[in-house]
Amino acid sequence: MRPLQWLPGVLPVVVAVAVLAPGSAAATPSAGIEATTMVQSTLNGKDFVTRELTIAPGGTTGWHYHPGQVFGVIKQGTLTHYDGDCSVDGVYNAGDSISEGSGTGYVHEGRNEGPVPVVMWVLYIKPEGSPLAVDMPNPGCPFE
């Protein structure tokens, strides 16, 4: 048998298993969220994006981090914010402001554990072309 002759037949199977198999490293998806971009512009290598986010009762942002700065205000409902150590690091009610750290060291999740939708206005200031958020796997919390 020639070296690596088996590779073309095995490689598609390996790729399919790696992509489709569930695992602990799978990102946790958001659920029950609607987002509308209100304004977006770029200046001096930074993107400025304002969005209105609505999180349905029982909805979640999923675990993620932001490559840039995030500032927001809760317009309606109550947002419960979890840190990567599974602790609640904030409960934000209508009228409250919120800011979030950036980078891989600040993995977090926002949840609507109340009976009414959470509506928030959010400003993202991020490096030009970078995503608003990067999905991450559950850090080991007993909830998604």
Q: pLDDT by residue (tens digit) across 2-29?
A: 444 443 443 333 333 333 333 345 788 8
CB of 117 closer than 8 Å to CB of 57: yes
Residue 72: strand pairing partners: 98, 122
**pLDDT for position 25:** 53
Q: Would the pTM of this model clear 0.85, i.e. be above it? A: no
Between CA 86 and CA 100, with CA 22 as vertex, the angle to 5 degrees is 30
With a pLDDT cut of 70, the percent of the chain lying above it is: 83
**pLDDT for position 138:** 96
